[in-house]
């Protein structure tokens, strides 16, 4: 029996042994009888997940990497987060309807084996974010303790692993607690910073360029979309009512957008104030001893929560990859712990290796991700909301032959490849700049091209192939989409 069964309360009669506190499920379907929780918990987990130092570091890119003034930085962040956040929240609303992790649900578009292309890319993404968070978490700890970088990385990794092993319910509980405790600390810090901690000519520093503005819009949008491959992992235990699905969408949207905008605005301010090389140390100096120390402690602890989510998602993806070829394998808590330890060890090695070149490595990771994730998110959302309207044969997700979705969906994979190809002429990166991006002043519009091309291409392809596609069995259909 799954340790995460029950209603919204924390008492549960039969669940008395310590084992009952550890989530037992991995990628299998959460049945209706085991659904629990409140959708407002989605607000707190996503708000708190964005309160870490990596969010501040990302916001500092607006003035330091893109040369924007604070007001233009804020405008770019708003556009990127509001747009990307809605796409991310649409993925979250899929969780209560199907009761499975996001990457399992992708088999409904790409086929059981075809989905592996995206699953493997997402595992790489998780490892990159995990390692990046270990670096900035250790830096925060180093500012408030005598721990060295290596010891800080190991401590952050150990705590994140422990939380991920306990699982879903604990992450939601920690998210609720940290939202109110650390959210208050960071709001007070932000208020102090903007009221008294910035130079007098703060708003006059920096400027505007179309390339810089669109570049930061891309960073903001991708920050949100990067959660899309695992956002429904944290809503799949929610009750599958229509009202609950709508509430899932809006609670996730509000939590993730607000939680990321506030620290990123602080990061942009720090970058303008001259702290772009080390935004975390600069924030500590600008806030003063007491408030600065409290903020850094909140950063370190929030980072451990965020990394537990990255690790949890990576483990589910790893199980998904293996289960593709071992269809009877639906592991429980022990296997999740073992896989989590292996992935944690890999991320620790990465974190220790890239600590000295963190900003460059992190920015490169963001740019690579946008080209891979945009066509996937376009196909997934178009299929779920516009083609199948939330109705899937969930049993086929776990079938040896892929069930009604098959092992390969050549149509979806072809459109996915087309979406990536459409981005290439609009790429503007250090390694490659496409001809159209160069003609537009080296402005990176690859992610926009990926969306614009992929959605209509998939809708047309789905319509053309619909007559020959098997329909889901009527007894296993999902809840209607929100």
Alpha-carbon span 368 to 372, nearest angstrom: 7
- Is residue 298 a contact partner of residue 164, using CB atoms and an 8 Å limit? no
Rg (CA), the chain: 22
Asked, for residue 424, whether it belongs to a domain, the answer is yes
Number of structural domains (the chain) is: 1
Strand partners of residue 433? 428
242 has pLDDT over 80? no
* Residue 354 clears pLDDT 80, i.e. is over it: no
Q: Is residue 19 part of a domain?
A: no
pLDDT average, residue stretch 46-63? 91
Domain presence at residue 9: no
Of the listed ranges 22-26, 57-61, 122-126, 276-280, the one predicted with least confidence: 276-280
Give 151 or 244, the one with higher predicted confidence: 151
Of the candidates 100, 129, 139, the residue with the CA atom closest to the CA atom of residue 307: 129
pLDDT at position 467: 56
* Mean pLDDT in residue range 281-295: 86
The CATH number of the domain holding residue 375 is 1.10.4160.10
Q: Is residue 81 part of a domain?
A: yes
Q: Is position 457 within any domain?
A: yes
Residues with Cβ < 8 Å from 345, sequence gap 6 or more? Answer: none
Mean pLDDT, rounded, for 24-51: 92
Contact 80, 216 (CB under 8 A): yes
Evaluate whether 336 touches 319 at the Cβ level (below 8 Å). Answer: yes
Residues 6+ apart with CB under 8 A from 200: none
Q: What is the pLDDT of residue 373?
A: 87
Over the stretch 409-439, which tens digit does the pLDDT of each residue have?
999 999 999 999 999 999 887 778 889 888 8
In a domain, 10, yes or no: no
H or E segment at 26?
Answer: none
Q: Is residue 397 part of a domain?
A: yes
The answer as to whether 26 is a domain residue is: no
- Look at residue 325 and tell me whether its pLDDT is greater than 60: yes
Which domain, by its residues, includes 431?
38-476
Q: Identify the pLDDT of residue 303.
A: 86
Q: What is the DSSP letter of 331?
A: -
Burial class (CB in 10 A: 0-12, 13-18, 19+), 469: middle
Does residue 54 carry a pLDDT above 90?
A: no
- pLDDT of 340 over the 60 cut: yes
């Amino acid at each position: 029996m799954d340790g995460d069964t029950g209603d919204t309360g924390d008492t549960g009669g039969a669940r008395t042994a310590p084992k009952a506190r550890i989530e037992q499920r991995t990628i299998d379907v959460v049945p209706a009888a085991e659904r629990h929780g409140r959708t407002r918990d989605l607000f707190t987990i996503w708000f708190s997940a964005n309160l870490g130092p990596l969010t501040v570091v990302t916001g500092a890119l607006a003035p330091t990497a893109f040369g924007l003034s604070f007001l233009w930085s804020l405008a770019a962040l708003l556009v990127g987060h509001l747009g990307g956040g809605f796409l991310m929240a649409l993925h979250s609303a899929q969780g209560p309807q199907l009761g499975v992790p996001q990457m399992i649900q992708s088999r409904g578009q790409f086929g059981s084996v075809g989905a592996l292309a995206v699953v493997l890319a997402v595992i790489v993404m998780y490892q990159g974010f995990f390692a990046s968070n270990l670096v900035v978490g250790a830096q925060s700890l180093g500012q408030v303790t005598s721990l060295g970088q290596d010891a800080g990385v190991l401590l952050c990794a150990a705590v994140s692993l422990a939380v991920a092993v306990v699982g879903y319910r604990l992450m939601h509980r920690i998210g609720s607690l940290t939202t109110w405790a650390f959210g208050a600390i960071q709001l007070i810090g932000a208020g102090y910073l903007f009221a008294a901690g910035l130079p007098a000519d703060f708003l006059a520093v920096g400027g505007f360029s179309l390339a810089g503005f669109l570049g930061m819009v891309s960073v903001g949008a991708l920050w949100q979309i990067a959660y899309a491959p695992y956002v429904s992992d944290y809503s799949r235990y929610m009750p599958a009512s229509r009202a609950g699905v709508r509430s899932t969408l809006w609670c996730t949207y509000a939590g993730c957008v607000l939680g990321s905008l506030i620290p990123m605005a602080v990061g942009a301010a720090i970058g303008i104030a001259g702290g772009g090389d080390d935004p975390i140390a600069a924030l500590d100096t600008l806030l003063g001893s007491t408030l600065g120390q409290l903020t850094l402690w909140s950063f370190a602890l929030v980072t451990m929560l965020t990394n537990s989510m990255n690790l949890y998602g990576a483990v589910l993806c790893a199980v998904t990859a293996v289960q593709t070829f071992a269809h009877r394998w639906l592991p429980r808590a022990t296997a999740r712990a073992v896989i989590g330890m292996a992935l944690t060890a890999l991320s620790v090695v990465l974190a220790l290796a890239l600590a000295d070149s963190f900003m460059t490595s992190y920015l490169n990771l963001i740019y690579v991700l946008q080209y891979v994730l945009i066509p996937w998110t376009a196909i997934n959302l178009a299929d779920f909301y516009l083609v199948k309207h939330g109705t899937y044969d969930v049993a086929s997700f776990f079938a040896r032959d892929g069930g009604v979705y098959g092992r390969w969906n050549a149509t979806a994979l072809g459109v996915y490849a087309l979406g990536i190809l459409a981005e290439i002429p609009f790429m503007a990166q250090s390694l490659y700049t496409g001809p159209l991006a160069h003609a537009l002043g080296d402005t990176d519009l690859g992610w926009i091209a990926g969306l614009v091309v992929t959605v209509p291409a998939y809708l047309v392809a789905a319509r053309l192939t619909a007559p020959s596609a098997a329909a889901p069995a009527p007894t296993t259909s999902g809840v209607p989409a929100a």
